[in-house]
Amino acid sequence: MARTNRSHNLMLSGGLVLAFVACVLFSLTLTRGSEGVAVIWLASGILAAAFLLLPWRWSLGMVVICFSFNFGYNLVVGNSPIASFIFPVLTFSEAFGAAWLARRTCGATVRLTSFNRVARLLLLAVAPATAASALAAADIFTIYGRNFDSVLTSWFYGHALGMAIMLPAVLLIARPEMVRDFRRSPWEEIGLYALIAAVSTLIFLPVRFPMPLLIFPALALLSFRLGPRGAAVSALIMAAILSSLVIVVSTPPNQATWTLAEKTRGLQFLIAVGFFTSLATAMAIANQKRMKRLWASRSRIARLAQARAVAAGLAKTEFLATMSHEIRTPMTSIVGFTEVLLKREDLPDPARRQLALIDRAGASLLTVVNDILDFSKVEAGEVELRPNQALPRAIAQDALAIVTEAARRKDIDLQLSFIGPVESPVLIDDLRVRQILLNLLSNAIKFTERGRVGLELQVFEQGDGAHLLRFKISDTGIGIPSDQVERLFKRFSQGDSSVSRTHGGTGLGLAICKGLTDLMGGKIGVTSTLGAGSTFWFELIAPRAQTGAAAKPARPDDGPLKARILLVDDHPMNRELGATVLGLLGCEVVLAENGEEGVAAAKIGDCDLILMDVHMPRMDGLEATRAIRALGGVNAVVPIIAMSADVMPEMEAACLKAGMNAAVGKPIQIQALHDVLAKWLSPDPNAAAA
């Protein structure tokens, strides 16, 4: 790396020294005026570029070489020893001042990546440095009998225009930051530069036409094709050709009365205007290309981030499915056997009380698991609304009936009130509305130690044939501080972190309520006073049900089922529990330990319904279901119900695709199992389809 840098610095120093020597020879030989000041002076721009591009020890070595040559050649062309010394001192001071100002105003690296940077370089570095050196030169040479105005004018025009052209051009050529957007074939570059040279030569044709105008379309073409670096090279080509021709070629007709200095300065202005016009165009194009590249890069990064997010979502879904299965599998036995034991008549009261405590603890644990899964579904947008005909009054009464026992245990008074046409049927997903109500009612009971919990349902008719349903749940509990209210509907958040220790809970219930309310196009909120209770409310718009709309199927009869059930499950405890519960429901049970045994048992064809576990060794429930359906005959239509601790939507969809009729999650409670079996064992095909 050090050798590479040394080689680069050596090549750059050599190139700049040769350029400086060429500029000094040209300026002092062909353009030196009567005061000894050159009309064209490009050498200062090269020196300033050297101070900016080279390390200090390299630039100081170059200064020694260039200073010596400049001093010596001034003596050769006839300047006095004092003037020959003063000219290089002023030139090098001017270059150093411009470089120092450039670093102060344009940054340490002075990278010309935009025209704004070029303008700052010219106005804040080149102009002050050349103006200061012009004043110094005029003051010094006035002492030796030179004309102040003549020296000042000649020095400033020559040095300012020369540095304004040369310094940006050298920086752009030596640091081609934007060249990758303008890579062209060598033959195209040669052709475009040859075009600039030809047009520069045509300016001096002896015709009465403003030939300099031809330079601008040529520069515009070059800017579009070769960019800022091409504009810089073209400026140097123009400077070399025009500066030479203005001296050796006869004057064009439109400049017949101009002096040599006027013609030289006019061409310098032409070169500067053409250069900066083409440079501004090239930088605008380069900036556009850079923005497109940045947009493409950002788009690529966004796609990668989206892919990572999708992968993370899939990983989260897989993790939740695995954890759900691992937690629900042992809970199936805990909840199921607890229910079975509670139905026994010979239990002593202490044992029944202890079993009731186990049952409530299992229900609490199941609530936590369900909260996490429900929130995951809401957050992933996987909740599907299923509107059906329902009575607002019945929804409120059902929800209150479910929490009645919890309120009775805490000796809390439950109140229910109605306002409006609460008996008018509406189309709404009553299961999701009841879920919101149960969350809010459960919270109200949990955070109320004494007093009451009230549910008020208000129904207002809307002008468009819909109803506005407003549910209000109020309590006389602990209340919520005003500065913590806005945190309530955020995930994993509770009003006070100590609350979770006192009352328990995941902090997901209200987040689920808000997610479901938003999904149904409603609003939810709360008003609360610390120590005086809280009132939660939510509003939903529900279309009025059409007359004659299909009513929600009635709850299956709770009587014995009298059916032959094939139970396929690899877990011995689940098989024992399933057989026990099905026996209590009046069913005859056939057991199978895996999918292969389940398919073999189904071939006999004497089962009314199959309960199929999903995750099993050797042959899982999905493969077994496909095999049973392939048997044809009775097995093509026998109801197959999936039983799985994996309750994610993807698993339910996979079960239905494999040919199962429905899916229920573990742990399965006795009443829930009775309901699903009664529905699919119903002789009425319409009831089963519902």
3-state secondary structure 565-605: EEEECCCHHHHHHHHHHHHHCCCEEEEECCHHHHHHHHHHC
Residue type, 562: K
Does a structural domain hold residue 364? no
Domain that holds residue 663: 564-689
Q: For residues 40-54, give the mean pLDDT.
A: 87
- CATH number reported for the structural domain that contains residue 87 in this entry: 1.10.1760
Domain count, the chain: 4
pLDDT, residue 685, reads 43
pLDDT in tens, 564-578: 899 999 888 888 888
The answer to whether residue 206 scores a pLDDT higher than 60 is yes
Pair (171, 200) in one structural domain: no
Instruction: Give the mean model confidence (pLDDT) for residues 49-54.
Output: 88
The CATH number of the domain where 522 resides is what? 3.30.565.10
319 and 436 belong to one structural domain: no
Residue 642 lies in a domain: yes
Residue 478 sits at φ, ψ, to 5 deg, of -75, -20
Residue 687's pLDDT is: 45
Distance, in Å, from the CA atom of 267 to the CA atom of 82, rounded to the nearest integer, reads 31
Higher pLDDT, 659 or 328: 659
Q: pLDDT band at residue 520, thresholds of 50, 70 and 90? A: confident
Q: Is residue 559 in a domain?
A: no
Domain shared by 168 and 201, yes or no: no
Instruction: Name the range with the highest mean pLDDT among 228-232, 514-518, 681-685.
Output: 514-518
Percentage of the chain beyond pLDDT 90 is 10
Residues 142 and 198 in one domain: no
pLDDT of residue 549: 46
Domain end, chosen from 326, 360, 394, is at: 326
- Of all residues in the chain, the percent with pLDDT exceeding 70 is 82
Q: Are residues 108 and 69 in the same domain?
A: yes
pLDDT (tens digit per residue) in 259-271: 666 666 677 777 7
Q: What is the pLDDT at residue 178? A: 61
Residue 305 lies in a domain: yes
Average pLDDT across the chain, whole number: 80
Residue 74 has pLDDT above 80, yes or no: yes
Instruction: pLDDT band for 93, please (50, 70, 90 cuts).
Output: very high
Residue pair 219/277 in contact (Cβ under 8 Å)? The answer is: yes
Out of 83-97, 236-250, 280-294, which region has the weakest mean confidence (pLDDT)? Answer: 236-250
The C-alpha angle 437, 441, 442, rounded to 5 degrees, equals 115
The most confident of 140-149, 252-261, 318-327, by mean pLDDT: 140-149
Residues 612, 569: Cα–Cα separation, whole Å = 7
Res 244 pLDDT > 80: no
Average pLDDT over residues 28-47: 77
- Is residue 10 domain-shared with residue 151, that is, in the same domain? yes
Dist CA 397 CA 385 (whole Å):
21
Whether residues 191 and 166 share a domain: the answer is no
Q: pLDDT tens for residues 292-315?
A: 888 888 889 988 888 888 887 777
Q: What is the mean pLDDT of residues 95-99?
A: 91
Round to whole Å and give the CA distance between 685 and 689: 6
Burial zone of 624 (CB within 10 Å; 0-12 exposed, 13-18 middle, 19+ buried): buried
CB atoms near residue 243 (< 10 Å): 22
- Greater pLDDT, 340 or 597: 597
Looking at residue 183, its pLDDT comes to 77
12 & 102 share domain = yes
Judged against a pLDDT cut of 90, whether residue 609 lies above it is answered with yes
pLDDT given for residue 100 in this prediction = 92
Together in a domain, 256 and 313: yes
Beta bridge partners, 564, equal 588
Q: Are 201 and 241 in contact (CB under 8 A)?
A: yes
**Amino acid 578: pLDDT:** 85
Q: Which of 513, 543, 573 is the last residue of a domain?
A: 543
Residue 654: pLDDT above 50?
A: yes
- Tracing tokens 């002050």 back to the chain, one arrives at 128
User: Which pLDDT score, from 0 to 100, does residue 622 have?
Assistant: 92
**pLDDT computed for residue 381 by the predictor:** 65
Distance CA 315, CA 302 (A): 19
The answer to whether residue 571 is domain-embedded is yes
Does residue 161 share a domain with residue 285?
A: no
Residue 342 inside a domain? The answer is: no
Alpha helices, DSSP H, located in 144-259? 148-174, 186-202, 215-248
Long-range interactions of 381-385: CB distance < 8 A, separation 24+: 382/649, 383/432, 383/515, 383/516, 383/519, 385/429, 385/432, 385/519, 385/520
Res. 133: pLDDT tops 50: yes
Is pLDDT of 62 > 50? yes
Instruction: Tell me how far apart the alpha carbons of residues 678 and 669 are, in angstroms, rounded to a whole number.
Output: 14
CATH for 608 = 3.40.50.2300
Please state the rounded mean pLDDT for residues 611-617: 88
Looking at the structure, tell me whether residues 657 and 570 fall in a common domain: yes
In the structure, what pLDDT confidence band is assigned to residue 168 with cuts at 50, 70 and 90?
A: confident
169 and 186 inside one domain: no
Secondary structure E strands in 636-676: 640-644, 662-665
445-504 per-position pLDDT tens digit: 888 888 899 999 999 988 777 889 999 999 988 888 777 766 777 655 554 444 444 444
Q: Distance (Å, rounded) from C-alpha 102 to C-alpha 82?
A: 30
More confident residue, 26 or 44: 44
249 falls within a domain: yes
Residue 683 has pLDDT above 70, yes or no: no
Do the domain assignments include residue 265? yes
Domain finish residue from 543, 573, 603: 543
For residue 162, give the nearest of 26, 62, 345, 336 by alpha carbon: 26
